[in-house]
Amino acid sequence: MSKQHPEEESFKDKILNSLNNSDEGTSKEKRSSNRQGQQNKNSQSKNQRERLNVSQESVGSRRSSGAKDSFQNTKKETTEKKKAPVKKKPKNEKISNATKPTLSVSADEMQRRKMRQKEDRIVSKIVTVVVLALLVIGGILGFSVYRYVSSSLQPLDPDNKKTVAVEIPSGSSNKQIGEILQEDKVIKSGMVFNYYTKFNNLTGFQAGSYHFSPSMSLDDISKNLQGGGAGTAGADAKLTIPEGVDIDKIGDIIAKDTKIKKSDFLDLMKNEDFFKKMQEKYPDLLTSAAKAKGVRYRLEGYLFPATYDYYKTSSLDDIVTQMIDKTNTVMSAYYDTIKQKNMDVQEVITLASLVEKEGVTETDRKKIAQVFFNRIAAGMPLQSDISILYALGEHKEKVYNKDLQVDSPYNLYTNTGYGPGPFDSPSEQSIKAVLDPTANNYYYFVADIKTGKVYYAETYEEHLALVEKYVNN
């Protein structure tokens, strides 16, 4: 027994030394486990248990009960060391390299948050400025609109008593009437006039010729329009322009019924600036006339035959503008048809001015219009005596052979085509005849100078026989 104790002591010392060495290794491994984590700790515990098992097998049955107790105590201490909690690092301990990336990401996130907050503050300021600017602009616009509407409800010029000739076409809406009044400088805004009539339930406006002044209120103008020409009451004179008269004759009528001189009227007819002004106002009507060459008066044929009211306050420009406006009103119904026929307004009115004088009845005018078209298609001159009289500048009942040689672009015996332009102011009936002629194969016609009846022929021989029978005899 005594020999066993030293031997057992020796084994015990070995076991303790082994455990101490194991503890020192474990301490080193724990320090390195800060990087490797919990998995390395479990591996170390497993190694310790394996070492203990190996030591226990080497001791065998030779171990005494004291050695067994010592080993069990040692195992218990090892188990307690295993179960002991890991010591926490102090708060003020330096951050290891392994934890630095996590805190670095958090710092970047904080920086981004600060930038977003700064951007949000800038956006808020911009939105505030924009909203305030819009409110200011809206207030200014609202005030401007209020002032515009308020001024439009008042007379355009309370001190201007001068009347303006206004032509209201048939079928015009309140909106169109407002546009006409604004264009003629009677009111400030056609749009405001339109809403004024709607809000006040004003209806029943009638077409016709009116004379308004810029000093009139919207209410006065509306009442006159409802009265159907009440605005023309009290005219100082009536100007009646017959169908088929030319500018020279119109000048005589104006000079006779007004205080306006014929020379002033003719000067206005030659005034290119005035014509351009009318062209801008009535482009559909006068564009083709502006392109004509060799004309005597550009407005020949465009002063519509009708009765007009004259006021002492009316200017010559007002009177002529009223006549041109009337022509435009009539022709507006035919602009599309003229385009469909590949013609222009100048050609239609020119041919209509010849038809006006050559025929009397609607039937004859439609036949004569077709005769002219037949001759133009055949390349023949129109050979109308009306063109000779205009070229001569004379008004007479009979044309002689010597007159046919007059040197003028208006001589349609020597010149083919329509000629430079209209020869007089045609009626609407003659305009319709040109746009809707009666189909025929005639190239000649002649009228009985006693009865006015018109006779037609397809050949020149037939025509000479008719002339001998109804004209020379």
* Architecture field, domain 164-233: 2-Layer Sandwich (3.30)
Closest CA to 96 of 177, 184, 33, 28: 33
Determine the distance from the C-alpha atom of residue 3 to the mean position of all C-alpha atoms in its chain, rounded to a whole number: 123
Q: Is the pLDDT of residue 364 over 90?
A: yes
Contact 246, 423 (CB under 8 A): yes
Could you read off the pLDDT of 241-283 as tens digits, one per residue? 999 999 999 999 999 989 899 999 999 999 999 999 999 999 9
Q: Which residues pair with 211 in a beta bridge?
A: 165
Tell which residue, 268, 253, 281, has the closest CA to residue 315: 268
The pLDDT, as a whole number, for residue 278 is 95
pLDDT at position 6 is: 44
- Counting residues of the chain whose pLDDT is more than 90, the rounded percentage is 45
Of 237, 244, 243, the C-alpha closest to 260 is: 237
pLDDT bucket at 10, cuts 50 / 70 / 90: low
Task: Output the six-digit token pair for 10.
Answer: 């020796």
pLDDT at 118: 81
Q: What is the pTM of this model?
A: 0.59
pLDDT for position 410: 96
Q: How far apart are CA 303 and CA 292, in angstroms?
A: 17
- pLDDT tens across 110-147, in order? 888 888 888 888 888 888 888 888 888 888 888 777 87
d(CA 249, CA 268): 15
Q: Would strands 307-310 and 237-240 be described as parallel, antiparallel, or unpaired?
A: antiparallel
**pLDDT given for residue 370 in this prediction:** 97
What length does the chain have?
473
Which of 366, 404, 370, 362 is closest to 385 using CA atoms?
404
Q: What is the mean pLDDT of residues 193-211?
A: 85
State residue 440's pLDDT score: 96
Average the pLDDT over 99-110 and give the result: 63
- pLDDT-derived band at 323 (thresholds 50, 70, 90) equals very high
278 vs 305: CA distance, rounded Å: 18
* pLDDT above 70 (res 104): no
400 pLDDT tier (thresholds 50, 70, 90): confident
In one-letter notation, the amino acid at residue 133 is A
Residue 102 in this model has a pLDDT that exceeds 70? no
Provide the pLDDT for residue 63.
41
Instruction: Identify which has the larger pLDDT, 41 or 257.
Output: 257
The structural domains of the chain, with segments of one domain joined by +, span 4-83, 105-152, 164-233, 238-440
> Is pLDDT at 16 greater than 60 in this prediction?
no
More confident: 32 or 159: 159
434 pLDDT above the threshold of 60: yes
